[in-house]
Amino acid sequence: MTATDTDIRFDMPLYTVAEAARYLAVPTTTFSSWAKGYVRRSVERTTVGRPLLSVVPSNGPRASVPFIRLAEGMVLAAIRRSGVPMQRIRPALDALQETIGVHHALASKRLYSDGAEVLYDFAQTHRDSSEGASAKELVVVRNGQQVFTDVVADYLQRIDYAPDGYARLLQLPEYERRQVVVDPTRSFGQPMFIHGGARVADVIDRFHAGESLSDLADDFGVPTVELEDAVRVASRRAA
């Protein structure tokens, strides 16, 4: 029996595309293109990009993204933040999936342990191509070993893996103090504070209703400095 037979991380849609994009701090159109692919037409040519993720089919604005796809999207968000064009890194991601040899490779602990070496080898093999150059931008050599660049490594360190090797918890990237997580087994996967266990949305709603941070800290058991970070993120999203 595989993890996908019984595991809600893989099968239960928890997020809309817009929610997933918001949690990963990427534009909704970006996450949508990762999940559904894209077609871009110009005078010279038509470019078709296949999906990098898959979603559970749905009609309308209902949840369609399982937790495991959010975890994969977090890795793509790291690549995006590093400045590497996604269309150029797609062949390297294909090579990574094939070499690591597991489903959902981007959400696998093997990406964290072996991915940098795979991308480095791809870059060496394709050194004369733009795809190889892009793969090389994600990897550095330190102490004789291939490791991910700081931007990608920071995101990967925010992923906690279950004993089966797949992601089980994410520390969302917008929060500087790493105090807000998504866990598919708690609060239906909605962002929550590690300290106190309150849903972020509930705390922010009460803040917007006029309650003070000190009162919220007392009620929810969340340190004030973490509440300040959450308010900062919410304010930036609303701007």
Q: Where a domain ends, among 129, 157, 173?
A: 173
Query: Do residue 167 and residue 94 come from a single domain?
Result: yes
Rounded CA separation 66/58 (Å): 12
Q: List the one residue out of 196, 167, 191, 189 whose CA is nearest residue 180.
A: 191
Number of domain units in the chain: 2
* Pairwise CA distance, residues 61 & 15, whole Å: 10
Average pLDDT over residues 222-227: 94
Whole domain around residue 205: which residue ranges? 174-239
Are residues 46 and 152 both part of a single domain? yes
Residues 96 and 48 placed together within one structural domain of the fold? yes
Same domain, 178 and 162: no
Q: Is the pTM of this model over 0.95?
A: no
Residue 117 sits in the same domain as residue 103: yes
Q: Which of 177, 238, 178 is nearest to 204 (CA)?
A: 238
Give yes or no: residues 127 and 205 share one domain: no
Segment 3-12 shows an average pLDDT of: 77
Element (H, E) at 229: helix 224-238
Domain identity same for 99 and 164:
yes
Domain final residue pick, 173, 204, 227: 173
Is it the case that residue 2 has pLDDT exceeding 60?
Answer: no
Q: Which domain-ending residue is among 155, 173, 191?
A: 173
Same domain, 12 and 84: yes
> pLDDT tens, 57-93?
665 568 889 999 999 999 999 999 999 998 899 999 9
